[in-house]
Chains A and B, each alone.
Chain A
Amino acid sequence: GDSVTQMEGPVTLSEEAFLTINCTYTATGYPSLFWYVQYPGEGLQLLLKATKADDKGSNKGFEATYRKETTSFHLEKGSVQVSDSAVYFCALRGLAGANSKLTFGKGITLSVRP
């Protein structure tokens, strides 16, 4: 079945540091890929997405590129802020259709120090 693997955390960075959070996936066909973020005390919310190979999703300075050859969707940001401290979930939606579902990775906690 479909699965998403995220790098182990937590990750602690200083403000303005470069961020990479690794995500790889296993799926049949051509899934859509997502990053969701959960800020403290809030629900998960969509950060960015990519729906086909070589697409780049971007939002709030974060980027991720859909790499079919390496089945990866790594999240990057050039300069993190304290306000980026949150839990980040990589996810995929597999086959299209009424019963397609979102499969999540375990999530990784990012803490950014001033």
Chain B
Amino acid sequence: DAMVIQNPRYQVTQFGKPVTLSCSQTLNHNVMYWYQQKSSQAPKLLFHYYDKDFNNEADTPDNFQSRRPNTSFCFLDIRSPGLGDAAMYLCATSRVGWGPNEKLFFGSGTQLSVL
């Protein structure tokens, strides 16, 4: 049974057209993360929520926003996608977000294409 669900699996958008990616979890975890993974590169953390507290990485472009309306759902909004934003976007959760034994649970990802 999928515990972290990302929809859709593939998303195509046009240059400059806003797009929203969604993530839901059945684990009741406190922390939800969004990673960007470009081809042959390491997943890069964009931001995370600890409950309702939003934590943005210093180098995440302003073009990327996120919403977490409740514990189960988290959205990634790209306000004006550019060609360089084409990537796999990974959602992950963890129970408390820290500690040596903490592990992340990942969704299958959404592959975003920008035309």
A binds B: yes
A contacts, CB < 8 Å to B: 4, 32, 34, 36, 41-46, 49, 51-52, 89, 93, 96-107
B106 contacts A51, C-beta separation under 8 Å: no
Closest to A108 in B: B40
B contacts, CB < 8 Å to A: 4, 6, 40-43, 45, 48, 50, 55, 90, 92, 97-109
A98 contacts B50, C-beta separation under 8 Å: yes
Q: Which of B6, B40, B99 contacts A96 (CB 8 A)?
A: B99
Majority SS at the chain B contact face: loop
Closest to B43 in A: A104
B42 contacts A49, C-beta separation under 8 Å: no
Q: How far is the CA of A20 from the CA of B59 in the complex (A)?
A: 33
A96 contacts B100, C-beta separation under 8 Å: yes
Which residues of the partner chain B approach A45 to less than 8 Å between Cβ atoms? 105-106
